[in-house]
Structure 1
Amino acid sequence: MNSQKPPLPPFTTETALQKVQAAEDAWNSRDPERVALAYTEDSEWRNRDVFLSGRAEITAFLRAKWDRELDYRLRKELWAHTGNRISVRFEYEWHDAAGQWWRSYGNEQWEFAPDGLMARRYASINDLAISAAERRLLG
């Protein structure tokens, strides 16, 4: 079975932009299994103060995330790239079960295996409470 996830490193600006868009599209699907397929079987993650290893942990983490972060909508932007690494900035909006809206801002550092799957993802994220009228990421 071919487990490659093009585009493959080393990245050009064009292929890095393709990788970022593919990640944004997958995360906006809110499908933990689909998102997890972009990562190596033993992928390492840091998400805020949570450290994960492997697709099974990533899938469980994402399932719990989207049970908590309702109506999630994300935008990613390429920040930099070199070789097999990509850096992005992102923001996403969501609301909790009580109806409070949030905008979460952050940076991610990605490192890819030769097959184009992400081997490492390190994310730093901050949250800002917003009103529904302040939302920017609609649709």
Structure 2
Amino acid sequence: MTTEARPPLPPFTRETAVQKVRLAEDAWNSRDPKRVSLAYTPDSQWRNRAEFPVGREQIVAFLERKWARELDYRLIKELWAHDGHRIAVRFAYEWRDDAGNWFRSYGNENWEFDGNGLMARRHASINDKPIAESERLFHWPQGRRPDEHPGLSALGL
């Protein structure tokens, strides 16, 4: 059992669930695997496409591989639903491969938190759509999405 805490803590209200989703988006947009891993329990269980990392060490290794492959990564997450210790989100992110091909990846995640606000389970389903560079919609400098940048619903995604 860990004594770490990562507010906001469950049970989630709509306001705290939205805050939790934005904090997760900000961390992932940092593209810092160690920073991202600290939001998860030491024994967190993931399902991400065909990979099933368990624990922070495997999460860090997974994210290092991911961001070595997915260049110019920019992500937007949006709350879908919440209840007690669980949050469901939908997301889209844009990235390019090392050959210059652009993609928009769409997905849904189901999150389950422990009482300290650390994510114990993350189940992600993701689909990739090739896009032309001219179809990109996420045009902020690498890092945190600016507050004034539209979210998924405003972008019609």
TM-score tier after normalising by the smaller chain length: over 0.9
Runs of 4+ in 1 over 3 A off after TM superposition: none
Task: Identify the residue that residue 76 of structure 1 maps to in structure 2.
Answer: 77
**How far, CA to CA, are the matches of 1:94 and 1:17 in structure 2?**
24
SS at match of 1:99: coil
Q: What are the equivalent positions in structure 2 for 1:96-111 lying under 5 Å apart?
A: 96-111=97-112
Structure 1's unaligned 5+ residue stretches are none
Task: Identify the residue that residue 11 of structure 2 maps to in structure 1.
Answer: 10
Task: Identify the residue that residue 28 of structure 2 maps to in structure 1.
Answer: 27
| Matching residue's letter, 2:61 | A
Q: What are the equivalent positions in structure 2 for 1:53-132 lying under 5 Å apart?
A: 53-132=54-133
**How far, CA to CA, are the matches of 1:9 and 1:2 in structure 2?**
15
Identical-pair percentage = 67
| Matching residue's letter, 1:131 | A
Indicate if the aligned counterparts of 2:3 and 2:116 stay in contact, CA closer than 8 A: no
Task: Identify the residue that residue 151 of structure 2 maps to in structure 1.
Answer: none
Alignment RMSD (CA, Å):
0.9
TM-score by length of 2: 0.87
Structure 2's unaligned 5+ residue stretches are 141-157
**How far, CA to CA, are the matches of 1:68 and 1:80 in structure 2?**
30
Higher strand share: 1
Offset, 1:2: 5.3
**How far, CA to CA, are the matches of 1:138 and 1:76 in structure 2?**
15
| Matching residue's letter, 2:63 | L
Offset, 1:138: 1.0
SS at match of 1:116: coil
**How far, CA to CA, are the matches of 1:63 and 1:127 in structure 2?**
19
TM-score by length of 1: 0.98
SS at match of 2:27: helix
